[in-house]
Each structure stands twice: as C-alpha cells, then as structure tokens.
C-alpha cells in the first residue's frame, strides 16, 4: 500500500502544479490527499515496527521529535492561527514518519524492480509536465518551475546514457536553480567515481576536490553555453543564476518580459519609459532577485522571533506567521503579505521551534550528508543511488524546505541507514 501511494504521490507531484495552471484543474487537492494517506500509512507502519524504534532513531529523527514538541507547546502560548498550527504539525509529522519508515525499509529486502518503477514514474511524470509546460506559453517568462527535484533520483541511478541525458534535460527545463546545482554536483560525483575507480581508487580529499571542481566547471559551462545557443526552454535556469533580470520575451504579461530591441526611430520605448524602467529596477535589491526574496524571509523570521520574549530559544510555535515586505523583481511593485512557510529550512525551523533546534538540525543534516558522500565509493549501486540523491538535494532542501515530500524524506531515511549504519549495506 505504501508503495502504491508513493507512486500516486510521485505522479501527482510531478504533473499536478503544471496541470492546474495549464488547464485550471484542481489536481493539487489530490496531492494533499496523497500526503495525508501516506502519513497515515507511514505512521501505522512505524507503529507496527515500534520494537525497532530504538534502533531506528538517530540524531536527526530525535531532533525532529524535539522540533515537534517545542513547536507544539510554544504555539499554544503565542496566539497562533489554528489552521497554520495544524499545517506545521502535519509538515513535521510527515518528515519524521517518512524518515523513520525509510530507515526501517532499509533493513528489509526490496526488489530492484520496485526501485525501477519509481524511476520510471518520476521520468514519466516530469515528461508529461514538460509537454504541458511547452504548450502553455504564458509560463515561459522564466519565473515558473515545475519542481524537478525528484529527477535527481534517476539521474543519480545512472542507468544509461539516454536516461541520464533525458533526466538532465528535464532538470534544465524544470527551471529551478538549486536543483540545477544539485544536478551538476551529481554528474560530477558520478564522473569522479568512474575515473577514480578506473585508476584503482583515491583518497577522500582528492575525490572531494575533484568533484567540487568538476561540478563548478559543468555549471559554468552550461550557464555560459545555453543562453547563447537559445534552445527553447533550456536556457532559463542558466540565465536565472544572476542578479540581473532574466525574464524571457514571450507572450506573458510580465512587465519584465524583455521588449524587442528598439529600432532607429525608437518606436518601442521612449526615453521617459526607459528612464522609468531604470528607476524601477534600481529599487530592486540584487540580493532579492538572486535569492528570490529568501533573504527577506530570514530577516522577517528574525524580527518575529525578536518580538517574542524567548522567541530565539523556543520560536514562535506552530501556527506562527511572518510578514514579507519588499520590491518585487517581477513587476517592480511593493509586495506585502503574511506567510506561514519559510522556504529557507533553518529559518522555518527557527520560526516554529527556535534557533538552537534549527542550528542543531542543520548541523546533523550536513554531517550526515558529508558522511554519505565520503562513503559513496564503498556503496553498492542502489545504495549509492539514494545516498547521492540525498547529497545532491542538499541545496534544494536548504532553500526550498518541504517536510511533506514523501519520496525525499523516505529516501533520506533509507540512505542514512544503508550508508551509515554498520552492517546494513551488506544485507
């Protein structure tokens, strides 16, 4: 049942957002339903294996439990919005349940065919999303992303040149910078592992420096070449890695869609219009454009916590909200609205449960990912796939935190157990 619901979640997650925008459906409701069903099944599953919990719990899951406890209690004393309170509780409960379920599944024999079905579902879902994306010109302004993070899993599997190239293309079209960086790292790690294996192995410092250097070269090469060749849909993520406007001229109504170059008679833009655009653009902080306003999130959360007596220690609790206030790089107008979800993971955890738990959770996550990376050359193919997938997701998790992503946190639990627990990888 858990496997079937996971496939349904993958297909809905990969297609749903684009389908809703393209055809004005309400598919995202089914995504929420699949998350609720998966949480229920994962919780029941963890309860049935509760005798193994002392073995399954680790520093990350214990910290997640602490985040839930502190956030839930703190929210009771901070005049929280109850709808947001339940959403925050649901989010962290998903993270913990999926993570523990993944760690237990790592101790059991799973057929390779089951993993292949997951890879195919991811590829098929994103392929359909790409078709919908290409058929909806209004999405091509450069601001939309269909969240291609799951495509990193079949890319890390490296089952063949065609599949790997197709996954890389889907990630480029998906137009998410953190996932693009993760893909560069993933490809670099695979190349480095192949080269080192052919040479009989190498030390960790050499492998690490080689991987990061190659990832940088791949990233620079792609971001330099794609915008100049102007292949439709492929160059957007490359142009977005800049503090300059990166919207592409399409039939979108965005005011940042690049106008056609003015001719000699200056028919497209008057001098006054050009000056107005220049003044508007000067009002946009480069850091806001480059981070997609994530720096504003961190500042807003810090202000929220400073406004509470011990907010820095225990957070504002479940149900808390912060206010975004900045000049939008999309239309040059002031944006002001409340939010209950911060994309930056440490900021979101700090908002609900305080900076100490946020910092500790981040440190444990980083250490776990580093240990997985250090053991990549010693892992079997499928174990290496999930470990490399988890490591490649680091930036996306940090800057686009989503605790309800069942595949991400189940995979991460699976990878930590298979990669870091002595004796498990041999089973």
Identify the residue with better confidence: 329 or 274.
Answer: 329
Kind of pairing between the strands at 334-339 and 322-327: antiparallel
Answer yes or no: is pLDDT of 348 > 60.
yes
284 vs 159, higher pLDDT: 159
Annotate 148-168 with b (16+ C-beta within 10 A) or e (fewer): bbbbbbbbbbbeeeebbebbb
Measuring CA to CA, how many Å separate 130 from each of 33, 174, 176, 265?
Answer: 24, 8, 14, 40
Say whether pLDDT at 267 is over 60: no
Cα gap 376→183, rounded to integer Å: 16
pLDDT at 255 over 50: no
Question: Does the pTM of the predicted model rise above 0.75?
Answer: yes
Q: Find the mean pLDDT for residues 32-44.
A: 95
Task: Give the pLDDT mean for 344-360.
Answer: 96
Q: Percentage of the chain surpassing pLDDT 90?
A: 62
Token couple for 253: 């109504």
Distance between CA atoms of 301 and 73, rounded to whole angstroms? 19
**Using one digit for the tens of pLDDT, what is the confidence trace for 387-398?**
999 999 999 999
Neighbours of 18 (CB within 10 A): 25
- Mean pLDDT over all residues of the chain? 86
Percentage, residues of the chain above pLDDT 70: 84
């Amino acid at each position: 049942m858990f496997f079937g619901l996971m496939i349904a979640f993958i297909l809905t997650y990969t297609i749903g957002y684009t389908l809703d925008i393209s055809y004005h459906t309400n598919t995202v409701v089914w995504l929420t339903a699949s998350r609720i069903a998966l949480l229920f099944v994962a919780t029941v599953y963890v309860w049935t294996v509760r005798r193994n919990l002392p073995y399954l719990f680790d520093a990350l899951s214990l910290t997640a439990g602490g985040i839930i406890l502190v956030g839930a209690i703190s929210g009771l004393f901070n005049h929280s919005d109850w709808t947001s309170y339940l959403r925050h509780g649901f989010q962290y409960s998903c993270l913990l349940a999926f993570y523990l379920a993944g760690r237990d599944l790592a101790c059991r024999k799973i057929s390779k065919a089951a993993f292949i079905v997951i890879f195919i579902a991811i590829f098929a879902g994103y392929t359909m999303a790409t078709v919908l994306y290409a058929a909806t010109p209004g999405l091509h302004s450069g601001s939309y992303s269909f969240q291609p993070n799951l495509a990193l899993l079949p890319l890390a599997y490296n089952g063949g040149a065609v599949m790997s190239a197709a996954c890389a293309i889907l990630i480029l079209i998906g137009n998410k910078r953190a996932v693009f960086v993760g893909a560069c790292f993933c490809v670099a790690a695979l190349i480095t592992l192949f080269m080192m294996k052919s040479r009989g192995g190498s030390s960790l410092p050499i492998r690490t420096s080689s991987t990061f250097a190659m990832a940088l070269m791949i990233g620079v090469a792609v971001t330099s070449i794609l915008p100049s060749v102007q292949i439709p849909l492929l160059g957007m993520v490359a142009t977005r890695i800049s503090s300059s406007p990166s919207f592409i001229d399409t039939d979108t109504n965005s005011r940042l869609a690049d106008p056609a170059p003015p001719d000699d008679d200056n028919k497209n833009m008057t001098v006054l219009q050009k000056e107005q655009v220049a003044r508007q653009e000067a009002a946009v902080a480069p850091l806001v454009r480059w981070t997609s306003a994530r720096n504003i999130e961190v500042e807003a959360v810090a202000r929220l916590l400073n406004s509470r007596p011990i907010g820095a220690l225990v957070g504002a609790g479940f149900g808390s909200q912060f206010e975004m206030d900045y000049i939008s790089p999309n239309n040059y107008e002031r944006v002001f609205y409340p939010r209950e979800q911060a994309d930056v993971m440490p900021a979101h955890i700090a908002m609900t449960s305080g900076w100490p738990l946020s910092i500790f959770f981040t440190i444990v996550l980083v250490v776990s990912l580093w240990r997985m990376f250090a053991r990549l050359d010693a892992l079997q193919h499928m174990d290496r796939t999930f470990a490399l997938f988890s490591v490649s997701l680091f930036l996306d998790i940090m800057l686009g935190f989503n605790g309800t992503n069942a595949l991400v946190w189940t995979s991460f639990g699976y990878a930590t157990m298979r990669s870091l627990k002595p004796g498990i990888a041999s089973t």
